[in-house]
Amino acid sequence: MPQFETHRPVPHTPDQMFDLVADVERYPEFLPLCEALAVKSRRERDGKILLVADMTVGYKAIRETFTTQVLLNRAERIIEVKYIDGPFKYLDNRWHFAETPAGGCTVDFFIDYEFKSRILGALMGSMFDRAFRMFTEAFETRAGKIYATA
């Protein structure tokens, strides 16, 4: 039942950070352990976008693919990820982007997950834990490259 939560201030706008996290197809370019990501479906309803995506993660010789539902709620600046299928018993992930008075925003990141298999949990658990802790840093680094000001 590993769980991780962080609140990080960044010098970028909430919309910029929302767009960066919402651009799931680019994750393999910069996100730790993410080897591939394919959006299987995309639909819009009530101003929100709902994606179903397969993400392949790997560490050394181990590769696992899992399917999630990703709800992109731009109006509230929230991204929610719900687990559908794969090696987890459950996975719950949320992002929230809040504007700060000084400019920029605070990125709130939360993830809670558990592997179905104890063996897989033992093999991948500590690496996943480290990778999830690096997620916000990976997004901050990516934002710095994309939104750098001259």
Q: What is the DSSP code string of 19-84?
A: HHHH-GGGGGGTSTTEEEEEEEEEEEETTEEEEEEEEEEEETTEEEEEEEEEEEETTTTEEEEEEE
pLDDT, averaged across the chain? 90
Average pLDDT over residues 125-144: 80
Quote the pLDDT of residue 150. Answer: 40
The rounded distance, in Å, linking the Cα atoms of 30 and 13 is: 20
The rounded distance, in Å, linking the Cα atoms of 8 and 103 is: 13
Structural domains of the chain, ranges and CATH numbers in brackets? 3-146 (3.30.530.20)
pTM assigned to the model: 0.89
Quote the pLDDT of residue 1. Answer: 62
**For 1-10, 84-93, 108-117, which range has the lowest pLDDT when averaged over its residues?**
1-10
